[in-house]
Structure 1
Amino acid sequence: MRTILFAASECTPFMKTGGLADVIGSLPRALEKERGTEVRVILPLYEEMDAEWKDQLEKVADFTVPVGWRNQPASLHRLDHDGVTHYFIRNEFYFGRQGVYGYFDDGERYVFFSRAVIEALPLLDRDIDILHAHDWQTGLAVAFANIMRTDIRTVFTIHNIQYQGWMTHEAFSDLMNIGLEHFAGLEWHGMINCMKAALFHADKITTVSPSYAEEIKQPYYSEGLDSILNDRAVDLIGIINGIDTDEYNPQKDPYIYAPYTSSRAKKRENKRFLQRELCLTEDPDVPMYAVVSRLVEQKGFHLLERILEEFLQENVQVVMLGTGDYAFEQSFAYFANKYPNKMSLQLKFSEAAARQIYAASDFFIMPSKFEPCGLSQLISLQYKTIPIVRETGGLRDTVHPFNEVTGEGNGFSFANYNAHELLYAMRYSLLAYHREDLFKPLLKNVNKSRFSWKDSAKLYNGVYAELVPS
């Protein structure tokens, strides 16, 4: 039996800012079902974690963590949830504040956490065979493990290469407490780069879709790390994310108006409910297009912004939920005010509202500039809502363009980052919606789309088996 320790900065249901938390919350449960593998998770203990969870914590031990010339106090806590043991590292100076990210000392905070993971290893209830770290916040844990613990193998997963954890080179002497001979393994272009440190030191590197694994070897997608990724290409593998199909299940979702499996009539009940709630024209036969997303450039909203008014001339409705860049918020608010019967914009995030939109909509728009994996298109397929995506990263791997000749495909896609290619895909979806001979086979393919963690967990277990045979 090999024991894996996941190190990450967030995890559902304890703390979530994005898709990383969903992965860390659900993948360990899937791995626990794999023969020969046991998983633990270690996280920071954030101030704003709900009291519901804090009250269940069991204190394991106090310890200290060297951060430069200081020895920072820390405590280790344990909570067993849903069959997985979770550990939390508490330190009031770094994590006793509101929010997760966005502080001027984020680099130092996660240097502390990464080193604390290593210092906590002797305090855990099991010896750890493999440390599996996720994204830049825990990248230095891989480096520290490689330097300080020869008995542990390491895996590092890139969830989004855009965020790398840059610090000035002085951080090495100020924070790291390792010999100068290790400087080159952390340095990148004259600075300390936490993600580069992980890529340099990890035994295996994974990312969240096969297409993204190929894309990040190219300068356009790599954010400057293509040379080291090409050097480590033999150790790099893309494994598509899954979703928790029990959590995202329209048959028993408590947030939606009318539970369903694949019934179009029930989806129309959800659509009518949402139209009423959002003061849109009540007509369940009008095709509804959804966006549930951060309103940022990465998600392709420059494209949608360019063609939205032209598309709204059709007999359609567009529902958007999310927050993000002020310019996008204002631009989409303009269209929502101009076409109040056709478009709704909610500048917030609400899990209940998101589920209601997935359940009510016919199509889901996701024209990303780049997308490591994407969970939204997987959720939309789970709710029998047809995705319209750009062919990049995980979107290419999970959404296959509908072919009306062969009847294959579970969505609509376009290749180039071009607004009118998006408009063409949306117009083609509208045509298909009004032709039963096209829409029926398309929906049949959507109904067969499955993206649980089961297959992905087997692939991760294969990576672990290469490092530590059971």
Structure 2
Amino acid sequence: MKKVLFVASECAPFFKSGGLADVIGSLPQYLKRTGECEVRVILPLYKDLNESYRAQLKEEMVFQTQVGWRFQYTRILSLKLNGIMYYFVDNMHYFSRDALYGYGDDGERFVYFSNAVIEFIYRGDYKPDVLHGHDWQAGAAVAICNIKKPVQSIKTVFTIHNLKYQGLLMYDAFENLFNLDRIHFAGFEWGGMLNLMKAGIFHADKITTVSPSYSEEIRTPYYGEGLEDLLNMRSRDLVGIVNGIDVKDYNALYDKALAVNFKSSIDKKHQNKCALQEQFGLPVHSDTPLYSIITRMVEQKGLHLVMRIMEEFVQNDIQLVIMGNGDKEFEDYFKYLEDKYRDKVIFYRGFDEQLSRRIYAASDFFIMPSKFEPCGLSQLIALQYRAIPIVRETGGLRDTVQPFNEITLDGTGLSFANYNAHELLDRLNASLKIYKDDYQYKALIKNITKVNHSWDDSAEKYLKLY
């Protein structure tokens, strides 16, 4: 049985800032079910670990981790949950903070974390066959593992979840933070700085991205974020494996957050819509199409397109619910939209897991017009709750949403190709026509009920890679 150690910066249900946590939380469970792979996970021990989990932590070992010329206290704690062993790297200086990321020393924090992971493998009884690092925060762990070989036969996999965020450090950090011979400097250097994303790509035995389309896109200058030449050089070792979701967790038939549970009943789905309308003080009309956006409010998510056309679209008899936070530009716009169209638009600033599930279940359509999208989990969750996705054909959105054909009645959503606001508006207007056409709408919902976006197929692909 293959022994695989996931190295990541977040993992549900312990710590979550985005989709990475969902992947690290659910993929090991599916790999375990195959009976061919044992996955363990190692994470930083952040300040806000729930007390119910903290009370179960068991100390494994304490040691000093070398970070350049300094030595930092390291304590490794463990917790077994749902059959998966989790390790936590405890260092209050680096991780006892109010947020997971967003600090000036983030690069140093995760170089320390990576050094501690490799030291843990050296010192401990657990000897993985594969170290699987996720995103830039684990890039140094992959690089150091391949250079130092804490287990002589160990192999490495590095997964790019979002190439835009790369983990940059100053040029002199190589001497100050890494305990490596200068001969390895080139594998970290990028544009006069150090780049932890590049280090992971450069050193890994195999590289994955979270959808086949994204693995192709990032080899082009438009999506490559300056690393396209390196990715083309490593193209034979690069593979796209689409993300899945935990379909037992995201299941409208059993989800306790919902007002009414359902499988494919449109009437019961509309009961959830009425409950949400009442909760938010919107006019309660089950036949009014409800659109939703649940997102981080950053440029990547295509919100500039929404800003260009949404006032025109809300002139129709529709309702719109937005949940998220992020850049002030977008938050201010959606607050303005809510204030101007209070009987049609609701903006919930922030994120609430249970409320998000009620919004998915209440929504007839889910809007996700991303500028780029490595995979995206929101459209997969929307499909689980029978909310029809309206997406741009990029990355994982292109791989997971089949455009609806009004003649053949094939497809699971609506999509547009170019990053253009009027193409988005065209698809929004098309969605209204489909909603009013009972035959087309029911055919589209029926198609969605046949879709399976569990981890089963993707877990088999990871097994093959390992």
Give the structure-1-normalised TM-score. Answer: 0.98
Partner of 1:334: 336
Distance 1:290 1:376 in 2: 11
Residue 123 of structure 1, CA deviation:
4.1
SS at match of 1:222: coil
Residue of structure 2 aligned with 1:235, choices 234, 237, 242: 237
CA contact (8 A) 1:386 1:411 kept: yes
Distance 2:360 2:338 in 1: 19
Partner of 1:23: 23
Partner of 2:367: 365
Distance 1:85 1:450 in 2: 28
Partner of 1:317: 319
Moved more, 81-90 or 122-131: 122-131
Distance 1:102 1:446 in 2: 38
Distance 1:100 1:123 in 2: 27
Distance 1:193 1:233 in 2: 19
Partner of 1:129: 129
Partner of 2:222: 220
Partner of 1:50: 50
CA contact (8 A) 1:60 1:123 kept: no
Partner of 1:353: 355
Moved more, 203-212 or 349-358: 349-358
Residue 142 of structure 1, CA deviation:
0.6
Q: Deviations over 1:293-339 (max 9, x none)?
A: 11211100000111101101111111111111111111111111111
Residue 125 of structure 1, CA deviation:
4.2
Residue 63 of structure 1, CA deviation:
1.1
Q: Deviations over 1:5-58 (max 9, x none)?
A: 000000001100100000000000111122421111000111111111111000
Residue 281 of structure 1, CA deviation:
1.1
Residue 66 of structure 1, CA deviation:
0.4
Q: Deviations over 1:223-259 (max 9, x none)?
A: 0000000000000000000001111111111111111
Partner of 1:467: none
Partner of 1:468: none
Query: Which amino acid counterpart does residue 362 of structure 1 have in structure 2?
Result: D
Q: Within 5 Å, which residues of 2 pair with 1:443-454? A: 443-454=445-456
Q: Deviations over 1:333-384 (max 9, x none)?
A: 1111111111111112111110110010100000000000000000000001
Q: Within 5 Å, which residues of 2 pair with 1:268-283? A: 268-283=270-285
Distance 2:335 2:48 in 1: 31
Structure 2 gap ranges (5+): none
Q: Within 5 Å, which residues of 2 pair with 1:180-195? A: 180-195=182-197
Query: Which amino acid counterpart does residue 138 of structure 1 have in structure 2?
Result: A
Moved more, 214-223 or 27-36: 27-36
Distance 1:89 1:330 in 2: 38
Q: Deviations over 1:258-289 (max 9, x none)?
A: 11111111111100011111111110000000
SS at match of 2:197: helix
Runs of 4 or more, structure 1, over 3 Å off, are 122-125
Distance 2:125 2:270 in 1: 51
Distance 1:37 1:316 in 2: 48
Query: Which amino acid counterpart does residue 97 of structure 1 have in structure 2?
Result: R
Partner of 1:72: 72
Residue 151 of structure 1, CA deviation:
2.4
Distance 1:310 1:97 in 2: 43
Residue 124 of structure 1, CA deviation:
3.9
Distance 1:188 1:293 in 2: 31
Query: Which amino acid counterpart does residue 330 of structure 1 have in structure 2?
Result: D
Partner of 2:416: 414
Query: Which amino acid counterpart does residue 216 of structure 1 have in structure 2?
Result: I
Q: Within 5 Å, which residues of 2 pair with 1:377-396? A: 377-396=379-398
**Identity across matched positions, percent:** 55
Q: Deviations over 1:396-427 (max 9, x none)?
A: 00001100111110000000000000000010
Q: Deviations over 1:164-198 (max 9, x none)?
A: 00111100000101100110111111111001011
Distance 2:78 2:297 in 1: 36
Distance 1:247 1:237 in 2: 27
Residue 122 of structure 1, CA deviation:
3.4
Partner of 2:6: 6
CA contact (8 A) 1:8 1:42 kept: yes
Distance 1:284 1:124 in 2: 59
Q: Does residue 82 in structure 1 map to residue 82 in structure 2? A: yes
Partner of 2:119: 119
CA contact (8 A) 1:143 1:197 kept: yes
Query: Which amino acid counterpart does residue 328 of structure 1 have in structure 2?
Result: F
CA contact (8 A) 1:289 1:361 kept: yes
Distance 1:142 1:158 in 2: 12
Distance 1:225 1:161 in 2: 9
Residue 156 of structure 1, CA deviation:
0.1
Moved more, 375-384 or 291-300: 291-300
Residue 93 of structure 1, CA deviation:
1.1
Give the root-mean-square deviation of aligned CA atoms: 0.8
CA contact (8 A) 1:290 1:319 kept: yes
Distance 1:124 1:78 in 2: 12
SS at match of 1:221: coil
Residue of structure 2 aligned with 1:439, choices 435, 441, 451: 441
SS at match of 2:322: strand
